[in-house]
Structure 1
Amino acid sequence: MPSFLTDSMPLTPSWWDIAARIALTVIAGGLIGLDRERGGHSAGFRTTILVALAACLAMVQANLLLSTYGKTFSYFTQMDVLRFPLGVLTGVGFLGGGAILRRGDMMTGVTTAATLWFMTVVGLCFGGGQIVTGTVATAVAYIVLSPMKRLDTWLTCERKATLVIHSSETNVPDLSGVLNPLGCRVLFVSYGPTSDGRSGVTFELRWMAKDREASSRAILDALSAHDVAGFSMQSTTT
């Protein structure tokens, strides 16, 4: 088996080894990034490649510095060159943190941040010469991000929404009779003015459903007799 395919980091990698690591990193980053790009996520094709490539180059540099002139084998455990790629891994945490946004009850970018952090680890694997490990990790990541995403349409999950209905304080509507048959729980939240200045009642709705859009339309259809001022889903978008 060629040396660049073994799960080890040679002391003096050849230019062929380095080129193979960089090429495989670009392929891995492109594969994962293309899937994210097609999904319309903020960290897409180029971003994922750059993150993985930066980690790979950091690890390659650390690998080259292992053979620093004047050091002997007994000093390897005392050298700090491997702290450089670890610093890159930590720095990506800030990049991932910037990808996470919270707007009210909705949080976006969590999977994007996790993907960036994971691709940094993949880049470190390739950069350190762990080609088999990096390849397997890329394949697993692609399966998790692409085919397994279809599980979202198969699983029955709890859905949440905020409902605002125009109503006077003396006439708070009872929605349980309308929504309970749909498996929807109604929780009173507050009473106060709505965005248009009229009085309104705010409810929190919770229900179990596979199809988020279809179940939401069913709830809105059931509320046709009421003066709905607002209906917003509470969910996590990745």
Structure 2
Amino acid sequence: MTGKDEENKLWVRRFNPRDDSGLRLVCLPHAGGSASFYLPVAHAAPSPIDVLAIQYPGRQDRRREPSVATIPELADEVARVLEPWLDQPLALFGHSMGATLAFEVARRLEARHGVVLEALFASGRRAPSRHREENVHRLGDDGVIAELKRLSGTDSQVLGDEDLLRMVLPAIRADYRAVETYVYEPGERLRCPVIGLVGDDDPKVTVDEADSWRDHTEGVFDLHVFTGGHFYLTNHQAAIMKVISDNLLPARTG
């Protein structure tokens, strides 16, 4: 196995490999999240879809690696490691920070490789052009932990374990810094369909802010609103998988 193969395995996780799928769905985690967040998606996806989850540096088995400092830098890295996977049609699903990252990765795939995604699924995140002033990354540890509890995005066992918290807080803070300092650079709109997904009680994004994703594509746009907060998707897994399947599988069957 070459060094490039080893590097790709660090970034790309396949919990339920389907080599004969014909279509790949790449999932990008939220701030502080890991590839394992998408383990249920990998097992629930219908057989025509091969699910790949991205593991960012700075967490779990990559915790000794420095986190990537900015969204553009991280997008460059993800676009690069996806190059070997471009032999089949590709879709991206990103939640929260992962949605912004997915947008920037999609831009790079179109500009550098001429790859138009089957779809970009933007979950729990306002459109790139809708700015909010946020500074969670500047808070002390107690402030960051309070934000995590407010969003219910980190396992309660982790929040209650001081040793685990010491391990994950640097990566969480780095992710918050990257997404909170992200500045949208206007440019050509994407050519792929964009599907927005949002909770109706999400403190991080309003339905109107999620609807503004329509301004970033020349393709079809659709918005799905679910009950719940920032991590609404944990209570709507079956419905979200149906949204994914309805948008991806018809394209594969003609």
What is the TM-score of this pair, normalised by structure 2? 0.22
**When you count helix as a share of all residues, which structure comes out higher?**
1
Rg comparison, structure with higher value: 1
What is the TM-score of this pair, normalised by structure 1? 0.24
Q: Which has the higher contact order (CA 8 A, sep 6+)?
A: 1
